[in-house]
Homo-oligomer: A and B are copies of this chain.
Amino acid sequence: MKNSNPPKISDFPQGNENIEYERFFFGKSWLKQLTSLKELNVPLFNVTFEPSCRNNWHTHSGGQILIAIGGKGLYQERGKKAQLMMPGDIIEIAPNLEHWHGAAPHDWFSHLAITCNPQNNQNIWMEPVSNEDYQQAFNSTNK
């Protein structure tokens, strides 16, 4: 059933379908905010991607940290080879670095995401990752 909820692939709650950002994603994703204490300045989310789902190329002016917790994912920086993300992997994304992330073609994927320096952070969304570029990114990981 296309619109069913995601399978349980980690110990973390998966939240609701990510409607707010769906225009920046190819495919369906689910979003759950995990922290709420504003003064800590560490907004923390769980993002779950259906197989083949990925977000557009984008940047965060404050940077971002991804913590893989379930399934199999992909991460790519502009001009670099894509890398697989498996549970336990951490990706540190410098401010203003162009990148995208999402699930592998045949696997669900969940990562925790931290918005760094949220006091001033702004996201810039760019073009989608084409099917051809996405497939090539995955193939280049040899997995």
Contact = CB atoms under 8 A, between A and B. Distances in A.
B65 A35 contact: yes
Contacts of A35: 65, 90, 92
Interface string A100-111: 000000000000
- Chain copies in complex: 2
A128 interface: no
Interface in A4-25: 10-13
Contacts of A95: 39-40
Given A11-B87, A87-B11, A65 B44 contact: yes
A88 interface: yes
A63 B40 contact: yes
What class of interface size applies to chain A in its complex with B?
20 to 34
Contacts of A94: 37, 39-40
Given A42-B114, A112-B67, A92 B37 contact: yes
Contacts of A34: 90
Interface in A35-71: 35-37, 39-42, 44, 62-65, 67-69
Contact of A117 (B40, B44, B86): B40
17 contacts: A10-B88, A11-B68, A11-B86, A12-B88, A13-B88, A35-B90, A36-B92, A37-B94, A39-B94, A40-B65, A40-B92, A40-B94, A40-B116, A40-B117, A41-B117, A42-B42, A44-B90
